[in-house]
Amino acid sequence: FVDGNIYITDSTTAEMVKLMENTYRDVNIALANEFAKICEEINVNVWEAIDLANRHPRVNILNPGPGVGGHCISVDPWFIVEVSKNAKLIRSARELNDSMPYYVCDLLCKELKRRKIEDPKVAIFGVAYKGNVEDTRESPGKKVIKCLISKGISVSIYDPYVKTFEYPLESLKDCVKNADVILVITDHEDFKNFKEEEIREIYYLMRNKIVIDTRNVLNQDLWRNVGFYVKLLGDGKCKL
């Protein structure tokens, strides 16, 4: 049990409170994702911009990412949309967050085409809906993978936390072997803590040395020093 206060209200208000909590987070994530898209267009690094904006004492912009998962935040806003025609902002935010996996997929596919990489293989890092858990419910990784496969791209998947998944899971070495791109979907601490010798081993196993980090979780300097080209989602200063 945990310590806390119990507040008495009616059941409808109590349910609305739960929906409002998760909707608040969903809308604010959507704002961050929209900022990421805009920054890609105007050659700004969204992560740098968010860091600077958040120095204002009344600003707390969340981090962008490849979409929203889990059984609460990605679902609860729809209950409000269902009962009210006034939920226009909530609907727009939910649709924007739902679109992010396809935005990531299209971004990757455009770069593969631009680099003229034939028969590409993409190594997916993480399919849990958030870092350091094994839960894959509503994971944006599922949509990204399905999108890539629909475009004829070979996909391999590595997640140190997830034991069972609807697509085959592989070891780290098998996942990156002959891959052209590493696409980081989940912000697991394991990905943040890769050592230089591990990164070098990954480098020599891959065919092309491209990393797209949608969560800003990797030690970018370390990966770049080894020889990888690293791009963050929303970093308009960095072109693949």
Residue 195 is among the residues annotated as catalytic for this protein: no
Backbone Cα Rg of the chain: 19
Rounded to whole angstroms, the Cα distance separating 51 from 95 reads 26
Which residue in 72, 109, 130, 237 is the catalytic one?
72
Residue 72 is among the residues annotated as catalytic for this protein: yes
CB atoms near residue 107 (< 10 Å): 18
| Contact in structure between 227 and 203 (CB atoms under 8 Å) | yes
Rounded to whole angstroms, the Cα distance separating 208 from 182 reads 9
**For 185, which DSSP code?**
-
Paired sense of beta strands 181-184 and 154-158, if any: unpaired
Residue 113 tokens, joined = 């085409």
Catalytic residue numbers read 18, 72
